[in-house]
Amino acid sequence: MNHFELFDMPAAFSLDAAELQQRYRKLQQTLHPDRFATGSEREKLRAVQRTAQLNDAYQTLRSPLTRAEYLLELRGIDLAHEQTTLQDPDFLMAQMEWRERIEEITDLEALDSAYKDLQEQMNALQGELEQHLEAAANEEAAIAIRKLKFMHKLHHELEQTEEQIRY
């Protein structure tokens, strides 16, 4: 059973996060190991395993990036452990420019501006990713995922810069 089937949801990039959370909580109550406290050791172990599977499925589906990776995995493309590097020179140049910009941030105004710009780029790229996934353009979707992973790293670098500025 795949993660989408576990939550009885269609295998799609676009999903209702509130509905996912509601189904997760309901399943969590049903499958929780405490409900099997008086059961056999086998039943207890099975409950723990099912709860772990449920938690893993929820964590995967609640994040758009990991959900997209999982959809591609279901289609036979595993990006989780790959070592492929992007070959898009324009994107790589933009990443270098972002890193330079982050290094030059010294105040909250510049930081807020960088957060805003990065979020706009991430939203645009996520929109492209959704279109590629809906069109079953798997290779294009994989490229978009790789780019979004870079963007998430940049976001993390901005968070580190924020910590340095604030403290």
Q: What is the pLDDT of residues 114-140, one digit of tens each?
A: 999 999 999 999 999 999 999 999 999
What's the CATH code of the domain at 15? 1.10.287.110
Say if CB 27 and CB 41 are below 8 A apart: no
In a domain, 42, yes or no: yes
Nearby residues of 156 by Cβ (< 8 Å), 6 or more positions away: none
Q: Are residues 162 and 93 in the same domain?
A: yes
Q: Are residues 100 and 161 in the same domain?
A: yes
What's the CATH code of the domain at 147? 1.20.1280.20
In a domain, 67, yes or no: no
Q: Are residues 134 and 94 in the same domain?
A: yes
103 CB burial (10 A radius; 0-12, 13-18, 19+): exposed
In a domain, 70, yes or no: no
Say if CB 31 and CB 47 are below 8 A apart: yes
Q: Are residues 45 and 97 in the same domain?
A: no
Can you tell me the distance from the alpha carbon of 167 to that of 148, in angstroms, rounded to the nearest whole number? 29
Q: Which domain holds residue 34?
A: 3-62
In a domain, 80, yes or no: no
- pLDDT given for residue 83 in this prediction: 67
Q: What is the pTM of this model?
A: 0.86
Nearby residues of 51 by Cβ (< 8 Å), 6 or more positions away: 28, 31, 32, 33
